Structure 1
């Protein structure tokens, strides 16, 4: 049992590294391909605004200004079978900086839940947030 968890943690780390490399390259340089990263019923929450379905998510990305992402930290973990059955699913946590067009870089964090679909990884849920002071 313990070896199985260690194997899944190692796989989550490796998958997160490969997945985020492809994802951010696509966001920054091949935005027309973004829908292929999401499940048909995928969810994107961008700074508190939600979009559901890969076609609407694609439309959302096409409406964003050009970006350049720099990652500063990356973490991942497997989602336990008790929560997702036997479906191989990982949670990925990303922090970094994003520059929109020629503006100053701004800090962001992004959380992905991805699941195996055949030999591809698909985003179930994606939550992006620019890091700005909270006004209480």
Structure 2
């Protein structure tokens, strides 16, 4: 038994596990407010009568949309893609957001789940697929990136305006 014990390797030292940096509460609150405001604007644009014109303002030439597996690149192509879609009505069931670690200024990851209707809209959200409306459960994720701020001229006073975000990446999938 003693010979066997000598052949065993010594026990490995425990390695210190590095925990992620704690995110300051003010940053979490800021990201939460920014995401909530974005979602209100986004879904109002998506469900509005001028969807293709309004929604394009939230994307840039570098933006990517993946809609149920179909990839669309750039604001103009995204605008054209949405122009072909029937009228919609989104009902958000839940959403969450997080600052993206390592980004400065802070990018935001937003996840959404809810119900969407496509087609001629009834007065209220129906419980069945009547009225020629397609009732679907969706999951959508966004990466929001702050717009680059203009350079401040030397001697000019910096303003206190909030960051303006655009959609860097948008993935939407029907899940039910």
Which bracket does the TM-score occupy, shorter chain normalised?
0.7 to 0.9
How do 1:1-136 and structure 2 match up within 5 A? Answer: 2=22, 5-29=24-48, 30-31=50-51, 32-81=53-102, 84=103, 86-102=104-120, 103-117=133-147, 118=149, 119-132=163-176
Unaligned stretches of 5+ residues in structure 2 = 1-20, 121-132, 150-162
TM-superposed deviation, 1:37: 0.3
Residues in 1 aligned to 2:78 and 2:24: alpha-carbon distance in whole angstroms: 33
Residues in 2 aligned to 1:42 and 1:66: alpha-carbon distance in whole angstroms: 23
Shift >4 Å, 4+ stretches: none
Q: Which has the higher contact order (CA 8 A, sep 6+)?
A: 1
Rg larger in structure: 2
Structure with the bigger percentage of helix? 1
Unaligned stretches of 5+ residues in structure 1 = none
Residues in 1 aligned to 2:144 and 2:26: alpha-carbon distance in whole angstroms: 17
What is the RMSD computed on CA atoms of the aligned residues?
1.4
Structure with the bigger percentage of strand? 1
TM-superposed deviation, 1:6: 2.0
TM-superposed deviation, 1:100: 0.3
What whole-Å deviation, never above 9, does each CA across 1:77-119 have from its counterpart, x for those lacking one?
00012xx3x2320000000000001414210010000011144
1:105 is paired with a residue whose SS is strand
TM (norm. structure 1) is 0.88
